[in-house]
Amino acid sequence: MDFGMRSSTALVFGPLLADVFPEAASALAYDDSSVLQITASPELEEVAAPRAGRDTYRAPQWLKALTERLRRASASRALVYAVFSVLYLVPTLWLATYKLVWDDEFFTLYLARTGWHSLLAAMATGADQHPPPFYYLTGWVLQHFGTSNITLRLTAIVGFWILCVCLYEIVRDLAGPIWGVVAMVFPLSTAIYYYASEARGYGLVAGFTAMAVLAWFKATEHCRRAVFLPLLAVSLACAVSSHYYAVLILIPLAAGELVRTRALGRIDVPVWFAFMFTLVPVMAFLPTILSAHEYSAHFWAVPVWSEAVYYYAGQLGLGAIPLLAFLAAGRIFGFGRRGWRAMNRGRGVSLHERGPLTPWQATVLYLLAATPVAAMLGAKVATHGFSPRYAICSIVGIATLVAYLLSRAAPRALTAMAAVVLCLIMYGVEIRILHEAFAEQRATLADSARALSSSGDAQIALMDITVMHQLSYYAPRELATRVNYLADPDKSVEYLQQDTVDRGLLDLRPWFPLKVVRVESFLAENTRFLAYGAAAGSWSWLTYDLPKWGDTRLIERVDKDRTLFSVEHVRVPHPERLAEQRADETPMLYKQMPQIGPSLCALWMGSKDCPILQ
């Protein structure tokens, strides 16, 4: 048999096979260095010249130089971290300063200001689903650095920064530094970037998830296990201490470790021991979790399967669509491969800088990307509550896979830079969208304060929980003391099929400086009052019963959503409830607040962080 003829034939048609079967060709090139050496020989270049001339082009020297500079720049951790920090921190701090505190963030602000034992008592009501350590950490920041819009959101800002840095390190090892930069900036181009300036635990969850995945990748490669195994344990515990839904991280990690165990034929005991730290916060705060479970019967976020699918379009937002189209083009047309061969012709290097994912790495990443499905399943079976942000840890799997698969489909360095530029453009769009939304919030609050300040001195029943929160905090005390939230969990269930807001605000009166009163008590004490808010909304049931309480008259339509009513000749629908309500001795933090003077925002944060309301 003429083996020489077969070798020459295989080598001559190598470029053709690379076009038809790119993954197989790359695998052969990666594993067989002898083939690469023969391919680079002058004799082979003479034989393959006609085919190469038709299939590739010679890249100009300036393009090769540019590519080399990009590779070197992306490989410098100091340079990458510094440039990214500026690109991330400047707009994020600006947005965090400009954004008004809103509903969920007021939970963080009020509960973080209390002591540990008081915090545990507040958590025992079940009115909030965040773990106590998150509030304690935020309280520590506020105590040591002062209360401001920045310090209130500092944990989220840092957590999101950790997410992006860890993504760079993960993909740097999987596909090369230049693709690590793609993964690093990808989250900025998605709607998930909103949580970088949200004073809740979601930014920390994303950051600690990425840190846990990085630590597990390193530990399974036997790279400084004395460092990365403890880091894995701490990251998992911190993620769950930021939000209980972060326990879902354990599913992909455990599945990946099972695949690894089967491949190696032995159990890596230290890794499994590190996994156990995921359950430490759950066991430590199990009574709090069980208390919160009592709210699940009429929780506001009813789990619907379509929400799990919507997550990918709604949370990934602008950044996903063009980048995924970019990825599809690379897979279908081999986009970037000819350019790669031209840039590396004769160098004897592989099509890809790194080998393929191991089965256990692929298992972890794909299951992480599918976290919304696991979260929905858990909500259907156990928690009975699902919001897309509960599955935020999936961004780690999604960003890693997007960058990695793009590197396999279109391995050219300039392709990676094009992806980075695309992400940064979408990042700019996200910043503009958020700023416009925050500006609209400010305008709504200013219009509401203007309308109510000029409405006389009657007490006001708020039909909009966001306006209630913000007026209580940002308005001068003369106006803040006039606004009331009328709570009736039974009515809320009857009209809205949920009682999360009414029940939660009643339970948290000792910790929230809001004027929360029961309906009959308010009506008995006010023969005339005003009602303000969204007349048709999914968060207030007041408009359904307003005509039953007295003569209702429209005074002003403040904006397209909110109206101001006057209610006179008030009637108490259930006077038999008054005795029980008046016997309620639950302490109210509101009664300890000043009745006149500047706003709570000015007292706690200083006037520079507060809007001026007339």
- Tens digit of each residue's pLDDT (9 = 90 or more) over 357-406: 999 999 999 999 999 999 999 888 888 888 889 999 999 999 999 999 88
Same domain, 302 and 178: yes
Instruction: Determine, yes or no, domain membership for 60.
Output: no
The pLDDT score that the predictor gives to residue 11 is: 35
The pLDDT score that the predictor gives to residue 410 is: 78
Instruction: Determine, yes or no, domain membership for 352.
Output: yes
pTM of the predicted protein model: 0.86
Task: Report the C-alpha gap between 144 and 438 in whole angstroms.
Answer: 28
- Picking from 401, 436, 471, the residue at the C-terminal end of a domain is 436
Q: What is the 3-state secondary structure (H, E, C) of 5-54?
A: HHHHHHHHCHHHHHHHCHHHHHHHHHHCHHHHHHHCCHHHHHHHHHHHHH
Same domain, 489 and 513: yes
Same domain, 252 and 361: yes
The pLDDT score that the predictor gives to residue 61 is: 79
CB count, 10 Å around CB of 247? 17
Residue 580 burial by Cβ neighbours in a 10 Å radius (0-12, 13-18, 19+): exposed
Same domain, 125 and 168: yes
The pLDDT score that the predictor gives to residue 314 is: 82
The pLDDT score that the predictor gives to residue 353 is: 56
Residue 475 per-residue DSSP state: S
Instruction: Determine, yes or no, domain membership for 576.
Output: yes
Same domain, 332 and 423: yes
Domain count along the chain = 3
CB count, 10 Å around CB of 82? 11
The pLDDT score that the predictor gives to residue 10 is: 38
Report the SS3 class of residue 191: helix
Same domain, 257 and 119: yes
Tokens read off for 458: 């009657």
Question: Mean pLDDT by 10-residue block, N- to C-terminus, for the chain (614 residues)?
Answer: 39 37 38 37 42 51 79 92 97 97 95 94 89 96 96 98 98 94 94 96 97 97 92 97 95 97 95 96 90 75 84 74 60 50 46 74 95 91 86 95 88 84 92 96 94 94 92 96 94 89 93 95 94 80 90 91 92 89 90 94 92 83
Cβ proximity of 449 and 471 under 8 Å: yes
Same domain, 77 and 50: no
The residue segments making up the domain with residue 29 are: 3-55
Instruction: Determine, yes or no, domain membership for 442.
Output: no
Pick the closest to residue 412 from 459, 317, 344, 508 (CA basis). 344
Residue 580 per-residue DSSP state: H
Same domain, 96 and 235: yes
Instruction: Determine, yes or no, domain membership for 349.
Output: yes
Same domain, 48 and 97: no
Same domain, 377 and 458: no
Instruction: Determine, yes or no, domain membership for 212.
Output: yes
Instruction: Determine, yes or no, domain membership for 8.
Output: yes
The pLDDT score that the predictor gives to residue 320 is: 62
Amino acid at 489: P
- Picking from 436, 466, 483, the residue at the C-terminal end of a domain is 436
Same domain, 48 and 91: no
Residue 348 burial by Cβ neighbours in a 10 Å radius (0-12, 13-18, 19+): middle
Instruction: Determine, yes or no, domain membership for 614.
Output: no
Same domain, 253 and 299: yes
Cβ proximity of 535 and 515 under 8 Å: no
Task: Report the C-alpha gap between 556 and 168 in whole angstroms.
Answer: 54
The pLDDT score that the predictor gives to residue 145 is: 96
